[in-house]
Every structure is written in structure tokens, then in C-alpha cells.
Amino acid sequence: MYSIIKYSIGFFLYVSLACSQIKLDINTIPDEVDVYLDGVNLGTSPIRNERIIPGAHIFEIKKKGYAPLRYELIVNPSKAIEIDFFLNPIHNCKFKTKEKGLVFELNGEHYWDVRDIRIDLEAGDHTLRVFKASELIDEQNIRIDKPETFNYVEKNNI
């Protein structure tokens, strides 16, 4: 009998903790960002006095002109959670060259062999690699912090 009561109390405490709702506040930079929690649109930031239950959750933060953010979080039982998200802006950049026979690679993701191209890039550091006849001839780290045009000139070996 005692073990049944002990089990019932333990189960009740577990269920009440697992089902308890936690106050959720979300801040973003920039403001007025679409916030999704487990695929449900919570509205635009800042989000105040929303409710969340303990467990695994996925936040998706989206705004035109910024790189989307997906964040997985395991919420433990508590009274309140405040989360700050910072989105990186996207900049339209141009890459130009007058050189012939070059293949460009950006971050191991984007490849091109044309003389003029536009690419939307997230603000931050990127790696540009240049190939000629399948041989790496140049590698540069570039920082994107505004819309910019990059004019590539092949380095001459002396």
C-alpha cells in the first residue's frame, strides 16, 4: 500500500512538472522578426508572456534581408525563460574578373566560372578559393559587412 501511494505521489509530481507552463520572453535584433516555435508562428518580436512547456523545442527566426536562424533548445522546468536572438544581415555582393579560365569557390558551397556574378551573402567571414586548370592558385579570407563589389586580379608569380 505504501509503495502504491509513493508511486502515485511521484507520478503526480512528474506529471505536474512536465505539464507546467513556463513564461517565455523573446528579444531579437533587429525587432519585428517572425518567431516560430515548433512550427507555430508566435508573432513578431519582441514576444512577451508567451507560455512554453518543458522539453525539446525548435525556434525559427525569420526576417527578409537577414539570414534565417534555427535554434534547438531543451527547456527544463523553471519559472521563466528569456532568449535573445541576433540575426546576421544578408548583403548582395558582386564578384568580377577580367581573367580567363578561372573557377571560383566560395565557402565550399558556391562555384562559378563566369566573369561577373551576384551572390547574397550573410555578413561575416568567408573563404574565396580560385582555381586555374584544376589547380588552386589563390585563397583569400574576405569579410562581408556591407554590399560590395570584389574585383579579382590573378596574382603574378615572379
For the domain that residue 19 is a member of, what is the CATH number? 2.60.40
Do residues 72 and 95 both lie within one domain? no
Mean pLDDT value across residues 56-85 = 94
Give the C-alpha separation, 33 to 27, whole Å.
9
Q: Are residues 16 and 39 in the same domain?
A: yes
Looking at the structure, do residues 67 and 125 belong to the same domain, yes or no? Answer: no
pTM of the model: 0.72
> Per the domain annotation, does 126 fall within a domain?
yes
Residues 56 and 127 in one domain: no
Q: Give the model confidence (pLDDT) of 96-129 as tens digits.
A: 999 999 999 999 999 999 999 999 999 999 999 9
Residue type present at position 61: I
Report pLDDT for 78. 85
CA angle, 33 then 38 then 40, to 5°: 60
pLDDT computed for residue 144 by the predictor: 94
